[in-house]
Structure 1
Amino acid sequence: MPAIRLFGLPTDINSSFERGAAGGPAAVRAALWSDRGNMASELGGEIGADIAFTDDGDLPLTENSAHDDAAIRRHVAMLCEDGEVPLALGGDHAVTFPLVEAAATCFGPVNILHFDAHPDLYDDFAGNPRSHASPFARICEGGHAKRLVQAGIRTLNHHCREQAARFGVEIVPMAGFAPDKVPVLEGPLYISIDLDGIDPSEAPGVAHPEPGGLTVREVLAVLHRQTAPIVGADIVEHHPGRDIGGVTAILGAKLVRELAALIDRNGPYRP
């Protein structure tokens, strides 16, 4: 089974409206290793017992996007060479671009399952093409996505509708949502979870809360249906300053365990 390497990306230099997501990795990590819970997943696997799992801490990022992108790509390439699967904690969603770019360099274009309230397809946002509102535009432009499926989207404006049509993005609408409406994707599979994809009643600790979102149970149901080998994943956009009682950090920790168990269950990718 593949070994999983957790690492944090404590940066929010590409955030819009409000910074704060740089504190996300530390908050989720504290919840993960807290005695409040344990290392078991709902799939039955347990970190440290039957799931090979290492926490590498945070990458030493800076306030320079180009420098940070290169550092992220190098780290993912190193893990790829060793046959290990990266599981990243953001940070704002801009980090997903270099993560996917590096995965696609290793494996070829990937299939992406993306949970979010927002499609993050802006050509640029407020003049910044590396905005956290733009990573999937950069991914699609670069040819890194074989297929991009988005669940939880509920803020689709005219520009992003045009972008989705341009790139052939498959959006599963929240109206009438059911987990079985999300396709089961082939490998190599990359999973990106923006915590604001989940309803703010269950995940208040985000900078851009949007009512009417996914429940935790719906997210888990979609994840557990995926059977393809996973070559990378991220959990992003936790803003500890907006959290209530640490519940969003605890949710992030649960998603770490569930993703680790899913990666372990689905096995290594073999082209």
Structure 2
Amino acid sequence: MRRIPVIGVPLDHNSSYLRGSARGPFSLVEALHCDSANLWTETGFDLGPVLDHRGALDLSDRDTAFKVIEETAAEIGRSGRPIFLGGDHSVTYPLVRGMKRAVGDFTILHFDAHPDCYHEFEGNPYSHACPFARIMEEGLCTRLVSVGIRTAHGHQREQREKFGIQWLEMKDRAHWPVLSFDTPVYVSVDLDALDPAFAPGISHHEPGGMTTRELLDVLHAVDAPIIGADIVELNPDRDLNGVTAMVGAKILREIAGMMLSD
């Protein structure tokens, strides 16, 4: 059985509104190994002998942080199917650049309340509000599907049309299509895709979101190999009794289970 590398990406200097998600990887790993749960997946895999914890990257130098992230993703992606733990959503851009170098073409399945495709936000083109603009500009994925969207600026709607991004918006939940993929899939989970009732430990609360089960249902239905993933935007400073960290750990387990399924 393949091993699954788990790597922390503790960066949040590209966040707007609040900092704190740089501590997310550590809270998520702690929750993953909490004695209140176990390491079995719903798809029937014991992750105890499978997860390969690689610690967290040293991103103390802001000028080189994206380069370190990209090089790590490229190196690990060539030999494994890594799960990266953010950090804010800006880390997805260098992660995807590295994974593209490692494995070639893939689709991105993106869970989020926000499209995160601003051309720039508050003067920062590398803001956590912008990763998918950079990704689409560089042609780093063959298709981008964003699930759970429920707050979109007019500019981001223009970006959707410009780049051909597919949105599954919460207002249309009753009519979402069944997704199917003809390339491998990279999964990016911003925990604010979930309603704040299920994930209070995030910086940007946006009511009207997905339940944990709805997200897992979409994930479990992926019909192509999952070659990598990130889980981002856990802010321990806002979490309540570790609920969001436990939700993030659950999502990690189920992503890992899907990686082992094909």
Q: Check conservation: 2:168, 2:176, Cα contact below 8 A.
A: no
Please state whether the residue corresponding to 1:89 is helix, strand or coil.
strand
- % same residue: 47
The residue that corresponds to 2:75 in the other structure is 78
Preserved CA contact (<8 Å) 1:110 1:188: yes
Q: Which residue of 2 aligns with 1:58?
A: 56
Q: How does 1:41-52 map to 2 (within 5 A)?
A: 41-49=41-49, 52=50
Q: CA deviation at 1:130?
A: 0.3
User: 3-state DSSP class of the match of 1:175?
Assistant: helix
What's the counterpart of residue 156 of structure 2? 160
1:91 Cα deviation after fit: 0.2
Greater Cα shift, 66-75 or 94-103 = 66-75
Q: 1:114-129 to 2 correspondence within 5 Å?
A: 114-129=110-125
Per-residue CA distance 1:107-149 (angstroms, 9 max, x = gap) = 2232000000000000000000000000000000011010000
1:27 deviates by 0.5
Displacement of 1:187 after TM fit? Answer: 2.5
Matched residue, 1:269: none
TM-score normalised by length of structure 1: 0.93
**Residue 97 of structure 1 aligns with which residue?**
93
Counterpart-to-counterpart distance in 1, 2:174 and 2:45: 26
Structure 2, unaligned runs of 5 or more: none
Q: Structure 1 counterpart of 2:69, which letter?
A: I
Is contact 1:107–1:188 with CA below 8 Å preserved after alignment?
A: no
Q: Contact (CA 8 Å) 1:179, 1:221: kept in 2 or not?
A: no
Q: Which amino acid in 1 is paired with 2:53?
A: D
Q: 2:198 aligns with which of 187, 192, 202?
A: 202
Which stretches of structure 1, 4 residues or longer, exceed 4 Å deviation after superposition? Answer: none
Contact 2:105 2:183 in 1 (8 A): no
Question: 3-state DSSP class of the match of 1:85?
Answer: coil
The residue type equivalent to 1:27 in the other structure is S
Q: 1:141 to 1:247 in 2, by over 3 A?
A: same
Q: CA deviation at 1:105?
A: 1.4
Report the AA paired with residue 109 of structure 2. L
Mark the CA change 1:246 to 1:145 in structure 2 (over 3 Å): closer, same or farther. same
Q: How big is the shift at 1:186? A: 2.6
Q: Does 1:68 align with 2:77?
A: no
* Contact map agreement 1:184 1:226 (CA 8 A) in 2: yes
Deviation at 1:63, TM superposition (A): 4.5
- The gaps in structure 1 that reach 5 residues or longer are 267-271
SS of 1:176's partner is helix
Could you state the TM-score of these two structures normalised by the residue count of structure 2? 0.96
AA of the residue aligned to 2:64: H
Matched residue SS, 1:139: helix
The offset of 1:35, in angstroms, is: 1.1
Aligned with 1:249 (options 223, 226, 245): 245
Q: Does 225-234 or 190-199 show the bigger shift?
A: 225-234
In the TM superposition, 1:222-233 aligns within 5 A as: 222-233=218-229
- Counterpart code for 1:207: S
CA contact (8 A) 2:184 2:225 kept: yes
Q: C-alpha root-mean-square deviation of aligned residues, in Å?
A: 1.3
Q: Is the 8 A contact 1:121 1:160 kept in 2?
A: yes
- 3-state SS of 1:36 partner: coil
Structure 2 CA distance for aligned equivalents of residues 221 and 2 of structure 1: 24
Give the number of aligned pairs.
Answer: 262
Task: Decide whether the 8 Å contact of 1:109 with 1:143 is kept in 2.
Answer: no
Q: C-alpha distance in 2, partners of 1:97/1:237?
A: 14
Distance 1:233 1:178 in 2: 27
- CA 182–98 in structure 1, closer or farther in 2 if over 3 Å, else same: farther
